[in-house]
Amino acid sequence: MNVFPSFLSLTAAVMVCTGCAGDPVAELLKRNGGFAVVRPPSDGEYLGDVYRTKGLMEQSISMKDVMEPDALNKVMTAYLKRVDIESISGKKDFKLSLEAAYIGVAKGDLEISGAHKYRVTVSNPVIHDSPFDAQLVPILIPAIKSKFPNVPLEGKYIVRSLLEVDGMEYEFFSENGGKINISADQNLVRNLTAKLGTEWKVTRDGKLTITRPRYIGYRLARIDKVGGAVAAAPSVAAAAVAGQPASEGTKLSSVPISEYENRDLRERKKKRR
């Protein structure tokens, strides 16, 4: 069986009409599997990471501390899924609001520049998935227990899916639809970097962009029960490649998106197992 399925590249333009409820990024994540927003976009998340709460704030165990890089890469790429995303409502713009994912915290700065509307485009979205029965239960949790046998897992939360994009791009417009070139105001550029993060760049033509792969969405599972059989570390690594089960008795449950924490990861606490 090929555990590295091929997937098609695509670009999805997410543009929502002025006055519609919600945020285009949050809507994109919700429509494509019920993902919560990773804020700010991150390149440091992994399938199998364990948290103490319903979010990415209080990390208990990182998979970087559990698996070697090659084995972890196989876990991350074993169940890639192409995301087919259609434009939500044509080519209309979305009104700036404090609730907007990522740029909402800079609403005041952007409005001073004359921006009142925006469009957002994401490129090449793919889902990194960890199916309960194929990977989370038989492979990842046994690997975690093998590495940290004395760390309790029951009642904690484990990352089961991540949505990754190759890039994001925002364009800004005035109330009457004229394009706003935010690169002309260097003070604004500095404020945007300070509030949004250094991974965001402003192009010469005034677009706000991220041009490197980042995770923008995640899903969790609650660890309700951990089974007793745990494979030794070498066997777990082999199972990750071959897809062979390593334990029984572990029970997981999905976490509804309405229960997720929506907080800035730059406030994330240090690991406390």
Q: Are residues 271 and 183 in the same domain?
A: no
Q: Are residues 142 and 247 in the same domain?
A: yes
| Predicted TM-score of the model (pTM) | 0.82
pLDDT of residue 91: 56
Q: Are residues 116 and 47 in the same domain?
A: no
Show the domain range for 116.
11-42+86-124+167-212
Q: Are residues 176 and 153 in the same domain?
A: no
On whether residue 204 sits in a domain, the answer given is yes
Q: Which of 175, 192, 212 is where one domain is finished? A: 212
On whether residue 57 sits in a domain, the answer given is yes
On whether residue 264 sits in a domain, the answer given is yes
Name residue 251's beta-bridge partners: 225
On whether residue 3 sits in a domain, the answer given is no
Residue with the two structure tokens 């006055």: 19
pLDDT of residue 21: 42
On whether residue 1 sits in a domain, the answer given is no
Q: What is the dihedral of CA 154, 157, 159, 163, to 10 degrees?
A: 160
Degrees, nearest 5: CA angle 255-261-264: 140
Name residue 217's beta-bridge partners: 37, 163
pLDDT of residue 248: 65
pLDDT of residue 259: 86
Angle between helices 233-242 and 69-77 (to 10 degrees): 30
Q: Is the dihedral of CA 63, 215, 79, 35 positive or negative?
A: positive
Q: Are residues 145 and 120 in the same domain?
A: no
pLDDT of residue 27: 80
Low-confidence ranges of the chain (pLDDT < 50): 1-21, 87-90, 229-246
Q: Are residues 181 and 259 in the same domain?
A: no
Q: Are residues 154 and 229 in the same domain?
A: yes
Q: Are residues 59 and 186 in the same domain?
A: no
Q: Are residues 145 and 272 in the same domain?
A: yes
Q: Which of 212, 229, 248 is where one domain is finished? A: 212
pLDDT of residue 122: 85
On whether residue 5 sits in a domain, the answer given is no
Provide the domain count of the chain: 2
Q: Are residues 262 and 173 in the same domain?
A: no
On whether residue 144 sits in a domain, the answer given is yes
Range list of β-strands (E), 68-141? 80-82, 94-95, 117-123, 126-129
Q: Are residues 113 and 195 in the same domain?
A: yes
Q: Are residues 177 and 263 in the same domain?
A: no
Alpha helices in 151-215 (DSSP H): 186-196
